[in-house]
Amino acid sequence: MPKVRSSNIGYPRIGEKREWKKSLEQFWAGNISEQDLLESLKSIRLTNIKKQTEAGIDLVPVGDFSFYDQVLDTAVSFGLVPDRFDYNGGKVDVTTYFAIARGTDSAVAAEMTKWYNTNYHYIVPEISTPPTSLVHNRVLELFNEAKEELGTKTKPVIIGPVSFVKLSKNLTGQSEQELVRSFIPLYATLLKELEEADADWVQIEEPFLNGQVSNEDLDLLQEVYAQLDVAAPSLNILLQTYFEAIDDYEAVVNLPVQGLGLDFVHDEGVSLEQVKKFGFPTGKVLAAGIIDGRNIWRADLKEVKDIVDQLSVIVGEGQLILQPSCSLLHVPVTVELETELPELLKEGIAFADEKLQELVALTKVANDEQDEESLEKSSAAVKALNESSSRNNEEVRSVLATISEEIPTRTIDAPERLRIQQEKYQLPLLPTTTIGSFPQTKEVRQQRLKWRKGELNSEDYEKFIRDEIDKWIKIQEELDLDVLVHGEFERTDMVEFFGEKLAGFQFTKFGWVQSYGSRCVKPPIIYGDVAFVKPMTVKETAYAQRQTKRPVKGMLTGPVTIFNWSFPRTDIPEGQVVNQIALALRKEVEELEREEIGVIQVDEPAIREGLPLKPSKTKAYLDQSVGAFRLSTNTVQTQTQIHTHMCYSDFEAIIESIDALDADVISIETSRSHGELISAFEDFTYNKGIGLGVYDIHSPRVPAQEEIDRNISRALSVLDPKLFWINPDCGLKTRKEKETVEALRVMVNAAKEARKQYVTSPE
C-alpha cells in the first residue's frame, strides 16, 4: 500500500455538456421512454467512474450520481414517500420518485431548500412514521454495476443517519434521537450487504458536524457508529465532514469508525491546528480535503504540499488520503472545453477533472513518484493571476477605501416612506406583482442564441425583445396585476446577465453546475476588481414603462447574491468583493431613477444560503450582507420604492437582518414550506411591505385557488393587510406560458377575494 492515497468525495453528475439534464427533460416531456432514460443515465454514470479511475484516483465514489437529488435518493431507499403520493411499499418507482420532487396535478412537491451554505438545493424528506425496512439498497446496486461493467471496486457514498434526520421534517412525534435510532438497523442492513459484496470502504457523510453540535448529538453519534461498526466489522467506514472545521475534534476523531474526512480548505486553518495539537489516532485513516471542492481556482500546490508534509509527520504511513474539501458536485466538469478563455485566466482555474489531476500530482509527490515540476507550474500560474492588472484596479480600490464602517441608511424611516410612496402610486390593498421573470420560451432562447452567434443583427434582436415586452405588458394588464415587470427576456441568468456587463467578470461556455433538479446554472467567475461600465437594465425597463401607466419594476440582482452565485476570487477578503459589486449596482440604481423608474427590485435570494455554519460567524456575515445591500440602495429618493426578494425557508434566525435591509417591500418564498415562515412574524413586528409567496413556481401545475386562499389567510393572521403583497414565490422563467397565465389569474382572483374581507380602498 502506498503511504498516501487519493480519493474523491463526489463527482458532477450532469455530464460535460449537460447530457444528464437533456435526458431528464426529454423524459419528462414524454419524448423518450423510461428505458431510454435509464440507459442514458447509466452511460453517464459509468463514464464518470471510468474518468476518475483513469485519472489515477485510488478511491472512486459510487452513489454520488443521482437522478435528481442525493437526499431524495436516501429517503426513497427507506420507502419514505409522503402520504399524498400513491405508494404501496417496495422499491419506489421512477414515476413516484419524480413526483415527490416535482409534484403532480393533485399533489404538491416536497419542500426544496438549500444544501447547507451552497447553491445546491435538496428535496426535504417528510418522515410521518419511522421507517421499518431498507426497500432498495441503491448503493449496493451501483457498487456491483461498477464492478461488473468496469472491473472497478468503488467506494459507496451515503448520507449518515444523524445528518439525514436533521435534514428531514420529523412528523412522527418522536424525538430526533428516537427517530435516528429507528434508522440504525436499516443502515446496518445496508452496510452488511455492502460488506458481503466485498466493498472495502464506505463513505458516510455527516455534514451537520461542521455546524453547531450538542453533547447529545455526540453521544448519539457514538451510539450509532458503535452499532454500525459491529454490524459490518470488516467494512471500513469513512466518516466524512465538509464545508467547515469541526468544533468537537477530540470526540469525533475517537468515534468507532476507521477513517475521518476533514475539510482543510474552508476551515480557516483550524483543522490543521487541531491535528497538530491533539494528534491523530494510530491505525485510523485521515482523509484530508486539501483541494477546494467549491470554487474553481487552481491550487498553489507548493502551499498545499506544505500542509500534506505536516500531516504526513503526524499521521501514520498508509493512513493519509488526499481528496477534495467536499464533493465536486459544486464545480463544472472540465476546463478542456473552455477554448475561448483568456490564457492567463484559463491557467489559473481548475474544474472537477483538473482538481483530480491536482490530487493525483500531490499524491505522487507525497509518494516520491514524481518530480515537483507540476507544483512549480501551479504556483507560477496563481502568482501571475494575482499580479495582473485586472486584480489591481487602483480606481476601484480608492473608492472602496472611502466607504465608512457604519452601515449606510436612508434619510426617512420606512413608515413615512410608505405613506409618500402610496400617495404616488395609489396601489390597492393587497397589491399584486410577480418576482420578475416571465417564461423563457424556446423561441426566446433561439433568438438570443442567433444574436449571440451573429446570425441575427442587434436591431432585429432588440425589436424581438420589445415585442415580447409588449406582449407581456398587455397580459399583465389584462390579468389586472398592480405592479408590472418587463419580463427579463434579454437575460440568460439573473447573475450572468449582470456579470457580462461589469468589469472583473469572466464567463465560461460549459461551466455548468446543478442547482436543483435538472436546473443547471453557469456561475460567472469574479476574477478581478468589479466596476460599473455602463447602464445594464435601463433600456428594456424604460421601454416597458412607456407602454403602461402602471408602475414597472426595475429588476436587479443584489450584491450578496451575485457574489454567492458566482465563483468569487479568494485572494482578497469576501467583504471587499461584495462591496465592489454593491458600488457598481448603486450606479445602476441611480441610472434607473434618472429614467423615472420609481420601483426598483434588488433581489437577494442568496443571503440565507450564505449563512456560515458556525453561529459564531453569523453576525459578521449578516452585518456585511446588510451593509452591502444598503450600500447599493441608500442613495435613492424617498418616493422610490425598493423591493427585494429572498428564497427558501428557515428565516427565523435572521428576521432582524431582513428588517435591517430597510427595503420598502420584501418578498419571500414560502409555498413549499407550507407557510412555516409565517410563524417568524408572530413574535416580530415588521413595519415594511412584505409578500410571502402564495404559490410554488417550481412545480409544473396550476394551483387551486383554495391553496392560495389558505396561504393568504394564514399570512394575514399575523401580518398587517396594509403591508401585505401577493405574489408567486419566485420568478417564472422556467414555466410554460399557458400555466403561467392561468396560475397568475388564480392568484389575482384570490387577491381580489381577500380584499373583500378588509378595507377595500387604501388609506
3-class SS of residue 532: strand
The single-letter DSSP state of residue 207 is: G
pLDDT at residue 564 above 90? Answer: yes
Compute the distance between CA of residue 568 and CA of residue 564 in angstroms, rounded to an integer.
8
Check whether 499 has a pLDDT greater than 50. yes
* Vertex 309: Cα angle to 351 and 268 (nearest 5): 60
Mean pLDDT over residues 461-477, rounded?
Answer: 96
Q: How far apart are CA 320 and CA 310, in angstroms?
A: 11
Indicate whether 16 belongs to any domain. no
Q: Is the pLDDT of residue 763 over 50?
A: no
For residue 700, tell me if it sits in a domain.
Answer: yes
Instruction: Count Cβ atoms below 10 Å from residue 133 Cβ, excluding itself.
Output: 12
* CATH code assigned at 175: 3.20.20.210
Span of 182-191, 442-451, 647-656, 693-702 with lowest mean pLDDT: 647-656
pLDDT band, residue 175 (cuts 50/70/90): very high
Higher pLDDT, 98 or 403: 98
pLDDT at residue 202 greater than cutoff 70: yes
Instruction: Please tell me whether residues 445 and 384 are part of one structural domain.
Output: no
Average pLDDT score over the chain: 93
Does residue 680 or residue 714 have the better pLDDT? 714
CA 108, distance to chain mean position in Å, is 21
| Judgement on whether residues 368 and 498 belong to the same structural domain of the protein | no
55 within a domain of the structure (yes/no)? no
pLDDT band at 761 (very low <50, low <70, confident <90, very high): very low
Residues 471 and 365 placed together within one structural domain of the fold: no
- How much is the CA Rg of the chain, to the nearest whole Å? 26
CA distance 25 to 34: 12
Q: How far apart are CA 29 and CA 23, in angstroms?
A: 10
Neighbour-count burial for 114-127, b at 16+ CB within 10 Å, e otherwise: bbbbbbbbbbbbbb
Query: What pLDDT sits at residue 229?
Result: 97
Angstrom distance (rounded) from CA 698 to CA 732: 9
Label residues 461-475 b or e (16+ Cβ within 10 Å = b): beebbbebbeebbeb
pLDDT, average across residues 9-22: 97
Q: How many domains does the chain have?
A: 2
Q: Per residue in 663-676, pLDDT tens?
A: 999 988 765 554 55
Q: Are residues 295 and 421 in the same domain?
A: no
Q: Which three cell numbers stand for residue 205?
A: 457523510
Shared domain for 352 and 439, answered yes or no, is no
Per-residue pLDDT for 627 more than 50?
yes
**Rounded-to-integer distance, Cα 567 and Cα 349, Å:** 10
pLDDT at 677: 63
Shared domain for 641 and 677, answered yes or no, is yes
| Residue 154: all three cell numbers together | 468503488
Same structural domain, 515 and 614: yes
Q: Report residue 570 as a C-alpha cell.
A: 479568494
Instruction: Mark whether 706 and 750 lie in a shared domain.
Output: yes
Write out the three cell numbers for 77. 431507499
| Enzyme catalytic residues | 698
The answer for residues whose C-beta is within 8 angstroms of residue 535's C-beta and 6 or more apart is: 588, 591
How far apart, in whole angstroms, are the C-alpha atoms of residue 630 and residue 586? 9
> What's the average model confidence in pLDDT over 108-117?
91
Residues tagged in the binding site annotation for L-homocysteine: 435-437, 488, 603
User: Residue 162: inside a domain, yes or no?
Assistant: yes
Average pLDDT over residues 333-344: 96
Please give the grid coordinates belonging to residue 661: 435591509
Residue ranges for the known binding site for Zn(2+) are 645, 647, 669, 730
C-beta of residue 164 within 8 angstroms of C-beta of residue 183: yes
Residues in binding site for L-methionine: 435-437, 488, 603
* Total residues belonging to the chain: 763
- Tally Cβ neighbours within 10 Å of residue 298: 22
Strands ordered across the beta sheet of 599-603 = 553-557, 599-603, 641-646, 665-668, 689-692, 724-725
Q: In the structure, how many helices (H) and strands (E) does the chain have?
A: 26, 22
Which tens digits make up the pLDDT trace of 600-610? 999 998 888 78
Give the 3-state DSSP-derived string for 338-398, with helices as H, strands as E and coil as C.
CCCCCHHHHHCECCHHHHHHHHHHHHHHHCCCCCCHHHHHHHHHHHHHHCCHHHCCHHHHH
Could you list the residue range(s) of the whole structural domain that residue 567 is in? Answer: 416-755
> Residue 542: what pLDDT?
97
- Binding residues, by number, are 18-21, 114, 119, 435-437, 488, 519-520, 565, 603, 609, 645, 647, 669, 730
Residue of 761, 758, 732, 762 whose CA lies nearest to 747: 732
Domain for residue 334, yes or no?
Answer: no
Distance CA 97, CA 99 (A): 5
Q: Which residue has the higher pLDDT, 95 or 718?
A: 95
Q: How far is CA 706 from CA 417, 471, 703, in A?
A: 34, 29, 8
**Res. 86: pLDDT tops 70:** yes
- Assess whether 71 and 217 both reside in one domain: yes
Q: Please state the pTM of the whole predicted model.
A: 0.88
Residue 398: phi and psi, rounded to 5, are: -70, -40
State residue 193's pLDDT score: 98
Task: Kindly give the residue spans of alpha helices, DSSP state H, lying in 603-704.
Answer: 618-633, 655-660
Instruction: Write out the three cell numbers for 475.
Output: 397580459
Q: What angle do CA 397, 400, 403 make, to 5 degrees?
A: 155
> What is the arithmetic mean of pLDDT over 312-341?
96
21 found inside a domain: no
Evaluate if residue 411 carries a pLDDT over 60.
yes
Mean pLDDT of 390-397: 90
Average pLDDT over residues 560-586: 95
Whether 160 contacts 117, CB under 8 Å = no
For cell 403520493, what's the residue?
85
Contact 361/369 with Cβ under 8 angstroms?
Answer: no
Please compute the mean of the pLDDT values over residues 337-363 and round it to a whole number.
96
Name the least confident of 126-140, 521-535, 712-726.
Answer: 712-726
Task: Provide, rounded to the nearest whole percent, the portion of the chain with pLDDT above 70.
Answer: 97
CB atoms within 10 A of CB 86: 12
**In this predicted model, which residue has the larger pLDDT, 309 or 732?**
309
- Residue the block writes with cell 445591500: 629
Question: Residues at the annotated binding site for 5-methyltetrahydropteroyltri-L-glutamate?
Answer: 18-21, 114, 119, 519-520, 565, 609
Q: Does residue 493 contact residue 522 with C-beta atoms inside 8 Å? A: yes
Average pLDDT over every residue of 187-207: 98
Terminal CA-CA length for the chain: 78
Say yes or no: 558 and 514 in one domain: yes
Question: Which residues lie across from 262 on neighbouring strands?
Answer: 288
Instruction: Please report whether residue 411 resides in a domain.
Output: no
Q: Does residue 371 register a pLDDT over 80?
A: no
Q: Is residue 44 part of a domain?
A: no
pLDDT greater than 70 at residue 248: yes
State the sign of the Cα–Cα–Cα–Cα dihedral 316, 319, 293, 622.
Answer: negative
Q: Predicted confidence band at 431 (pLDDT cuts at 50, 70, 90)?
A: very high
- Rounded Cα distance, 556 and 693, in Å: 19
DSSP letter, residue 757: T
pLDDT in tens, 509-543: 999 999 999 999 999 999 999 999 999 999 999 99
* C-alpha of 634 from chain center: 28
- Per-residue pLDDT, averaged over 56-61, amounts to 98
Same domain assignment for residues 186 and 121: yes
Can you give the pLDDT at residue 372?
Answer: 77
pLDDT of 214 above 60:
yes
Whether residues 314 and 167 share a domain: the answer is yes
